[in-house]
Amino acid sequence: MLVDNIGWGDLGCYGGMAPTPRLDQLAGEGMRFQNYNVEAQCTPTRSAIMTGRLPKRSGTTFVPLPGQGDYGLSPWEYTLAELFSDAGYATALFGKWHLGDVEGRLPTDQGFDEWYGIKNTSDEAGYTSYPMFHETGYPAP
């Protein structure tokens, strides 16, 4: 039996079955990413796709733990959202950000007109139940 790896979750311009006419038009008028290699963790991967820069250059090489201070994309980083905004597109992000959780480093500070999601990761809800969490001195998320 031949299994097709193209599914309903893929964009039409990449051979998916779900209709995505606006994204297909955007891909047809610009460029399509055919090969993207991810980092070992989500924060460096997210920063690379948002900025087009290596995580080492943007200082986002690891997933920070609670209490490690301000982290994520620096306010001066130029993101894809800012690029699209400058070209006249409306931008929105829906879902996990994990590229900064303080004012100045949130999606709406990095070029997104609209954002609905979580700042970091949903597993933070369990941090305080971990053995020895309170002894670390980290603030509860």
Give 66 or 111, the one with higher predicted confidence. 111
Q: What is the pLDDT of residue 126?
A: 76
Q: Is the dihedral of CA 123, 132, 141, 91 positive or negative?
A: negative
The pLDDT of residue 69 is above 80: no
Please give the Cα distance from 76 to 82 (Å, whole number).
11
Residue of 13, 27, 42, 63 marked catalytic:
42
Tell me the pTM.
Answer: 0.70
Task: State yes or no: pLDDT of 123 exceeds 90.
Answer: no
Catalytic residue among 43, 44, 48, 98: 98
Cβ neighbours, 10 Å, residue 133: 14
Concatenate the DSSP letters of all residues of 42-92 into one string: HHHHHHHHHHSS-HHHHT--SPPPTTS-S-SS-TT---HHHHHHHTT---E
Please tell me the predicted confidence (pLDDT) of residue 90: 97
Check if 134 is active-site.
no
Mean pLDDT of 112-131: 84
Q: Is 42 a catalytic residue?
A: yes
Q: For residue 1, what pLDDT is reported?
A: 39
Q: Which of 31-35, 89-93, 97-101 has the highest mean pLDDT?
A: 89-93
